Structure 1
Amino acid sequence: MRFSYFRLIIERLFERSYKEGTILRDGRYQIVRKLGMGSYGIAYLANDLHTNKLVVIKRMRAIKRKTRRKSFEREARILRRLDHPQIPALYETFTERKALHLVMEYMDGDTVESLIFEQGKTYTEEEAFLLLREVLIVVEHIHQAGIVHRDLRIPNILLRDTGVCIIDFGLARFLHERDSKIESYILEKKLRRQIDIKSDIYALGHFLLFLLYSSYEPTTDEEKSWEEELELSDGARSILRKMLQISPPYRNIGELVRDIDQVLEKKGMKKDVVVS
């Protein structure tokens, strides 16, 4: 515990965030503000002074440069391969102040996290499944490209006028890769971090639970499982059990979408996008 605390202090001493107005890349980019910090990088909103458009710049953190550089280079390869309008485009990479930087498309909009916890948005069962279905269309594209995201949480699902977007590919992996540490993880982390499409489906099971709980009003202080607390249709309950690997899990996105479509059809809801 003490070691972790001192390591955090040391990392913060080395991590000097860019200040507002900092100029990078030989006068091209100007930092507007810091967006957040993750395990491998610090993200900033910046103005591209050549195009006068906003971009996101992700700077590699200072500690463990070799490991983090490898992660950044992988993220760059992944974004180049995906090339999808609902996934941030990678514009360029550059090295400055001994750190690798990724310059990405800025996607404005509201994350599902901010919609639920800051704006008080609630979802019915039908609305939750319709939104999940939109997300799955993008996720299937990711899987078909031979990639697994591994971090499909409510802060990384963005809603825009043009549709659902998925951001932050810092933990994404190519499906042919292997994680030598996977067996040392606790079960929850193992289910989320497997380099397998089932890990994305598992994470989206929790995403779906967030949507469903947004409209839940507890009637007692007694702690219960989601199966006891949420009033769900039989089809919805079955889908969640498979997504969360309580029942035999889905093998691919297509199987999941077909079950969702059956639930929506029973409720008289229309769906417009076909998944292979």
Structure 2
Amino acid sequence: MSEALLKDYRLCGEIGRGRFGAVSLCRPLDPNLTGSFAVKSICKASVSGDDLDSQCLLTEPKILSLLSPHPNIVQIYNVYEDSTHLHMVLELCDGPDLHQLIVEGGGPIPEPEVASLFGQLMHAVAHCHRHGVAHRDIKPDNILFDAVCGGRLKLADFGSAASFSVGKGLTQLSGLVGTPYYVAPEVVAGRAYGEKADVWSAGVVLYVMLSGSPPFYGETAVEIFEAVLRANLRFPVRAFRSVSPAAKDLLRRMLCKDVSRRFSAEQVLRHPWIVGGGDANSNDGT
């Protein structure tokens, strides 16, 4: 453990574990500082020197520093490094993640609540894109809530994020990055892609929030990828009976296989369903 980290913070136990390390609760030793924080410790030995994960290991703190502060993005405060680990001191989000919220709630979330939460998510995504950052792994597990701020949504886990050049076209990123249900078809196809891959992933999140199930399903990762590539978007009556036409319109514009026609994050924020707070009587934006 980094000596510099232990001089500044007292570790209070592990609160989570990921692919490359653990997340621990910590409290500052400086009596002038109050509150609790999270320390994300990434084991360097768990990644090799030349692969994409290693690159992200090095860039995640830089990307979070570039994006902070933003009310809907987990904030980074300090970075420490020792011979075995990289440690990031982050804002503590002690509420449930979106996946837990959906599962514990027993299924779909009421539409006005979905619109409020989703608007917060898209403000975070638009902020990333304005700063030349693509998150590349937007999914309910990476959408947290800060109980201290009354349940404000926070986009987290930028371990797969990458930088792109704003204003120089959409085909600047590469690599199969993301989670099968949420990954965009252009990513699955192995083509160069841009930040609109995040919009697709967010669209899948919206679909899951409204219906309780993903739009493109398979028993295996290969079957899921095949369904994503077909991009046959359906709205089963049983799941979407009470969902407004405006919400369905937004889903069509986000889950559009043609990247040139797919909405940007800024366009999503201007859609009547978002502006109207999920009002079922909102115009559908056509």
Shared fold per TM-score greater than 0.5 = yes
- Among residues 1, 4, 19, which one is paired with 1:39 in the alignment? 19
The alignment covers a number of residue pairs equal to: 240
For structure 1, the 5+ residue unaligned runs are 1-17, 216-223, 270-276
Secondary structure of 1:94 counterpart: strand
Deviation at 1:250, TM superposition (A): 2.5
Q: Name which of 194, 199, 208 aligns with 1:201.
A: 199
Separation in 2, partners of 1:129, 1:63: 39
Cα distance in 2 for partners of 1:43, 1:186 equals 24
- Alpha-carbon distance between aligned partners in 2 of 1:173 and 1:236, rounded to the nearest angstrom: 29
Residue from 127, 145, 152 that aligns with 1:159: 145
SS in 1 for 2:46: coil
Summarize the Cα distance change of 1:64–1:80 in structure 2 as closer, same or farther, 3 Å threshold.
same
Residue aligning to 1:30: 10
Q: Does 1:267 align with 2:252?
A: no
Matches of 1:38 and 1:210, distance apart in 2: 23
RMSD: 3.6
Aligned to 2:129: 143
Superposition deviation, residue 253 in structure 1: 1.7
The within-5 A match list for 1:1-276 is: 25-50=5-30, 51=33, 53-61=35-43, 62-66=45-49, 67=51, 68-83=53-68, 84-120=70-106, 122-160=108-146, 161=150, 163-176=152-165, 178-182=172-176, 189=183, 191=185, 196-214=194-212, 226-229=234-237, 230-231=240-241, 232-246=243-257, 249-259=261-271, 260-261=273-274, 267=280
Q: Deviations over 1:50-106 (max 9, x none)?
A: 345322112222222535553222111111111223322222222224222212222
Query: Which whole-Å CA distance do the structure 2 matches of 1:265 and 1:166 have between them?
Result: 21
Offset from partner CA, 1:188-240 (integer Å, 9 cap, x none)? 7454857522111111111112211249xxxxxxxx97512422333322221
Which amino acid in 1 is paired with 2:9? Answer: Y
The 1:202/1:227 distance shift into structure 2, 3 A limit, reads same
Cα-to-partner distance string for 1:13-46 (whole Å, 9 max, x where unaligned): xxxxx8xxx9873443333232333334432222
Structure 2 counterpart SS, 1:110:
coil
Q: Is 1:88–1:104's contact at 8 Å kept on the other side of the alignment?
A: yes
Code of the residue aligned with 1:112 in structure 2: it is L
1:181–1:168: structure 2 CA closer, same or farther, 3 Å change rule? closer
Gaps of 5+ in 2: 166-170, 214-231
Q: Distance in 2 between matches of 1:244 and 1:265?
A: 18
On the 8 A contact 1:25/1:96 being kept in 2, the answer is no
Q: Aligned equivalents of 2:186 and 2:37: distance in 1? A: 29
What letter is aligned with 1:103?
A: V
Distance apart, 1:128 and its partner CA: 1.9
Q: Cα–Cα, structure 1 residues 188 and 25, in superposed 2: closer, same or farther, change >3 Å?
A: closer
Q: Which moved more, 1:137-146 or 1:119-128?
A: 119-128
TM-score under structure 1 normalisation?
Answer: 0.71
Q: Say which one has the larger Rg.
A: 1
SS in 1 for 2:57: helix
C-alpha separation in 2, matches of 1:171 and 1:200: 12
Q: Report runs of 4+ in structure 1 exceeding 6 Å deviation.
A: 185-188
| Residue 122 of structure 1, CA deviation | 4.4
**CA apart distance, 1:255:** 1.9
